Structure 1
Amino acid sequence: FSDKLGEGGFGVVYKGKLRSGFYVAVKILDQSRHSGSQFMNEVATLGTIHHVHLVRLMGYCFEGFRSALVYEYMANGSLEKFLFQGKEQEQKLSWDQLHSIALGAARGIAYLHQDCYRCIVHFDIKPHNILLDADFTPKVADFGLAKLYRKEDDHISITVTRGTPGYVAPEVWNTNLGGVTDKSDVYSFGMLLLEIAGRRKNIDVHVSRSSQLYFPEWAFKLIESGEFEKRLRETGRGDMEVEDEEKVRRMAKLGLWCIQYNSNDRPTMSRVVQLLEGSGDDVSNPPLPFNSSPPREVPFSSSTEESLSIV
């Protein structure tokens, strides 16, 4: 307990070392802020899935009032510290690295949604829960809020709002907008993409709404005017080569498609992966995400009806 890695909503994480020499991260759960069901939910979820872009659960302890989760150690911590610590941070990630991190995280989430026996919705996708190993390979972490549902079901039943303010899809907190599905994770990932592309938080809970422009609207207006990359350079977030511009523009456009107010207008995570890979399809300019009556257009240009059906 001498090497504290960080502290989250449900406990403190420490660095440990197994007798084999393997380093681990041990999350000691705060009994006052988590339930036994949340603990067992994370164990049950992570215990049955394995993917290069999902953090690996090594073991757990559940004895009396003490409970802990033991994960593989991620040497570079969370993506959050590389995006939001400002100019004083020791190491900055290149645009190529940021794009690779976004793509890896998307692959991990797509696996949860479509390649598991039952669909797993994470419900808390954000930079803090994207961990980076020594080679900056991204891995999705923290499954305490995750929910499983059968692929034949058309929605997930939830009793309380799940997630972090700024990343929660509208239908999660407003039941009038339809059922909650895996598209709720798509919304959260869209906010993550915008934060990566803009290298700024999508919302600052310490700043009044009147003193800042809503982040997605800021990104939308710049993309619409064709000045997104220019503004990044002016604010000191540019440092991009010509070959980086298309990747950044693609991430920003795709992020705006992912946060469309109507969940049916958002792409699936598998489609997001394809477009981040740049598999030939262009990403068209999205409508304003929160327009009450957004234009009904196909979000991605494509040469075949088959590829459109993936959306």
Structure 2
Amino acid sequence: MATGSKDMVVSSYCILFLVMFAAPGAGTGCPANCNGHGPPIRFPFRLKNSHPDCGYPGFDLSCTSTNETVLELPASVKLFVSIIDYKSQMLLAYDPNGCLPKHLPHLNLSASRFQLGYRYLELEDFTVFSCSRTESRMWSEYDMSCVDNDSDNHVIALNSHRSIRNSPSLLSCSKLYNVSSVPYHMLLPNGNLSFSWSTPNCRKCEAEGKLCKLKQISSEPEIECSDISKQHRGASMRKKIIGIVLPLSSFLLGLVIALYYVHRSDEAEKENQKRIKKFLEDYKALKPTRYTYADIKRITNQFKDLLGQGAYGTVYKGKLSNEILVAVKVLNNSIGNGEEFMNEVGTMGRIHHVNVVRLVGFCADGFRRALVYEYLPKNSLQKFISSADNKNSFLGWKKLEDIALGIAKGMEYLHQGCDQRILHFDIKPHNILLDDNLNPKISDFGMAKLCSKDQSAVSMTAARGTKGYIAPEVFSRNFGNVSHKSDVYSFGVLVLEMVGGRKNVEVTAENACQIYFPEWIYNLLERGEDLRIYIEEEEDANIAKKLAIVGLWCIQWHPIQRPSMKVVVHMLEEGEILSIPPNPFASTSTKRTNAMPGRLPHQELGVISELE
């Protein structure tokens, strides 16, 4: 072959290789990822030491020797990046050593482009202690022992609002530091952190399928959307020229190389899909999944295992996997206009708390509607409210106290911990579910309402809730405005039922001579007598008395006299003796003729009108 011909073939091969190996942006030296691994890297991100035009200031990433993608935050916090979602402008990162809590005292996002990406999850304040192993087992809410594995002590974290008074063992721990406004995910060693960014805002470009890039002529970093087709027009022209110049052998070689890279790209895409799947699993607590009706039938094994049935639907046991069990409530189509379904999804999709049942997903497939919750094997609290004289079914006073405190913390979160205040309006034993350790979780938000935190009253068209647990003001404006204090009343009735081990007596013509149960408890406390229920030790008597007093404070029939749930939590956590509240039954005799506590005979009830 002549020298000129050889040179032409060599040149043709060089052109072909340049075309095949060039990725979008390769002409400006913009790497697409860490050597074929990890999430795709494109504007506003860039790899360190690549061309400045590749990314936006403050969005530098780097690669490890093992091709992991690294995000460096202020104060030398380095996390591995698993997912970058350019459309929603969020990324997911984790600690490579499986000890995310060690970054707690150092994480400072004020000097970075990123914010914590938790829209509906309440950020909390924590206090970090160093305790002995015995004390950490007793008090730890979050075990951070990975921070100091070599020490004989354990590092633990507690919510900062938690009182440590009257807790000698915790007082002997050493306080290390406080941290403010962080998600609970940071306290989980193998947890993931979600970060978001608002500047630059490339959402418009992403939605239009265009490239987001820096403006070439601008003194300040500004962005613009660029048509992808224009970016590749030059590459298309080069391919046409090569197709004319190259002989058949060059074309075949190019085809082989192209097929190889298609294969590589397909493998990378499969890997991305796995990461996305893991990302969704990690965040299913924050954003419920939408299922089809076919999914619901598969999850419940064709509705094989019935758990229960109520007015609004039927509940079945189901499986998302061999490890994850769920409870699926299939709603009745004939009841309501879908308000309960929208309330559940709209409300529970916003919240995540250890004492609130987690909504895993929902189905809205045509006229079929279903709700998918975490499965709680111990069923409802109602199952355990039985005669306190029955040792076999009685849970014990310490456990009852823990359950009451857990419910109160969940309600406090609903009232104060979310962006908007959530009023439940149906707090009762049936709607308190228990996990394997008998930890309570509030469920069934079908009657819930949202309102702003500074709103002192809520408008209503009709009474909401279950008879016996509804606050007086929900029936009549004569008692006050409907507010978060209406939930407090329902909680008080529930606690008194726990104390008495019996259901609140519904006054009818047949039992009108029976004394109203809360009033019976009040009379015993006022006379200084012991509650006539099963008591084993003096500590049990103190717990029973404390629960009774808390319940009576909560059922004061004027809302202004009831404590907030924050105060209720404080009352339940403190060891001090509580004062007995004013007598809510002073205006009535012991032989009652009305079911509503404290209601005067023959008093007319005005219906509260809803202004919404």
With normalisation by structure 1, the TM-score equals 0.87
For 1:286 and 1:179, the matched residues in 2 are separated by 21
Match of 1:160 in 2: 462
Q: Is the 8 A contact 1:120 1:149 kept in 2?
A: yes
1:115 pairs, out of 393, 417, 429, with: 417
Query: Displacement of 1:95 after TM fit?
Result: 1.1
Match of 2:586 in 1: 291
Query: Displacement of 1:239 after TM fit?
Result: 4.1
1:263 pairs, out of 544, 547, 559, with: 559
For 1:85 and 1:62, the matched residues in 2 are separated by 42
Please give the residue correspondences for 1:237-248 in structure 2 after superposition, counting only pairs within 5 Å. Answer: 238-248=534-544
Match of 2:201 in 1: none
Please give the residue correspondences for 1:1-311 in structure 2 after superposition, counting only pairs within 5 Å. Answer: 1-84=303-386, 91-204=393-506, 208-229=510-531, 231-232=532-533, 238-278=534-574, 280=576, 282-292=577-587
- What is the DSSP-based 3-state SS (H/G/I as helix, E as strand, rest coil) of the residue aligned with 2:504? coil
Query: Displacement of 1:65 after TM fit?
Result: 2.0
Residues paired across the two proteins, number: 286
Distance of aligned partners of 1:189 and 1:207 in 2 relative to their CA distance in 1, 3 Å threshold: farther
For 1:279 and 1:88, the matched residues in 2 are separated by 27
Q: Is the 8 A contact 2:388 2:501 kept in 1?
A: no
Query: Displacement of 1:203 after TM fit?
Result: 2.7
Query: Displacement of 1:7 after TM fit?
Result: 2.1
- What is the DSSP-based 3-state SS (H/G/I as helix, E as strand, rest coil) of the residue aligned with 1:210? coil
Greater shift, 159-168 or 84-93, is seen at 84-93
Query: Displacement of 1:13 after TM fit?
Result: 1.1
Distance of aligned partners of 1:207 and 1:95 in 2 relative to their CA distance in 1, 3 Å threshold: farther
Quick one: which amino acid aligns to residue 5 of structure 1?
A: L
For 1:87 and 1:218, the matched residues in 2 are separated by 17
Quick one: which amino acid aligns to residue 560 of structure 2?
A: N
The two structures, once aligned, show a CA RMSD in angstroms of: 2.0
Higher-RCO chain (CA-CA 8 Å, sequence separation at least 6):
1
Query: Displacement of 1:54 after TM fit?
Result: 0.2
Any stretches of 5+ residues in structure 2 without a counterpart? 1-302, 589-612
Quick one: which amino acid aligns to residue 562 of structure 2?
A: R
Q: Is the 8 A contact 1:95 1:240 kept in 2?
A: no
Query: Displacement of 1:178 after TM fit?
Result: 2.3
- What is the DSSP-based 3-state SS (H/G/I as helix, E as strand, rest coil) of the residue aligned with 1:194? helix
Identity %: 52
Query: Displacement of 1:152 after TM fit?
Result: 1.9
For 1:32 and 1:206, the matched residues in 2 are separated by 31
Q: Is the 8 A contact 2:458 2:481 kept in 1?
A: yes
Quick one: which amino acid aligns to residue 573 of structure 2?
A: E
For 2:474 and 2:503, the matched residues in 1 are separated by 21
Q: Is the 8 A contact 1:55 1:71 kept in 2?
A: yes
Quick one: which amino acid aligns to residue 162 of structure 1?
A: R
For 1:208 and 1:7, the matched residues in 2 are separated by 29
Q: Is the 8 A contact 2:327 2:375 kept in 1?
A: yes
Query: Displacement of 1:207 after TM fit?
Result: 7.7
For 1:72 and 1:116, the matched residues in 2 are separated by 21
With normalisation by structure 2, the TM-score equals 0.45
- What is the DSSP-based 3-state SS (H/G/I as helix, E as strand, rest coil) of the residue aligned with 1:148? strand
Distance of aligned partners of 1:110 and 1:65 in 2 relative to their CA distance in 1, 3 Å threshold: same
Match of 1:302 in 2: none
Any stretches of 5+ residues in structure 1 without a counterpart? 233-237, 294-311
Distance of aligned partners of 1:205 and 1:290 in 2 relative to their CA distance in 1, 3 Å threshold: closer
Query: Displacement of 1:26 after TM fit?
Result: 0.7
For 2:313 and 2:508, the matched residues in 1 are separated by 23
Deviations 1:242-276 (A, max 9, x none): 11111110010110110001110000000000110
For 1:85 and 1:39, the matched residues in 2 are separated by 35
Q: Is the 8 A contact 2:427 2:469 kept in 1?
A: yes
- What is the DSSP-based 3-state SS (H/G/I as helix, E as strand, rest coil) of the residue aligned with 1:171? helix
- What is the DSSP-based 3-state SS (H/G/I as helix, E as strand, rest coil) of the residue aligned with 2:411? helix
For 2:519 and 2:471, the matched residues in 1 are separated by 16
Deviations 1:73-107 (A, max 9, x none): 01100000100378789643111111100000000
For 1:13 and 1:184, the matched residues in 2 are separated by 28
For 1:14 and 1:87, the matched residues in 2 are separated by 33
Quick one: which amino acid aligns to residue 430 of structure 2?
A: H
For 1:203 and 1:8, the matched residues in 2 are separated by 22
- What is the DSSP-based 3-state SS (H/G/I as helix, E as strand, rest coil) of the residue aligned with 2:441? strand
For 1:92 and 1:13, the matched residues in 2 are separated by 27
For 2:316 and 2:486, the matched residues in 1 are separated by 31
Query: Displacement of 1:289 after TM fit?
Result: 1.6
For 2:586 and 2:367, the matched residues in 1 are separated by 49
Deviations 1:102-148 (A, max 9, x none): 00000000000011111111000011111000111100000000001
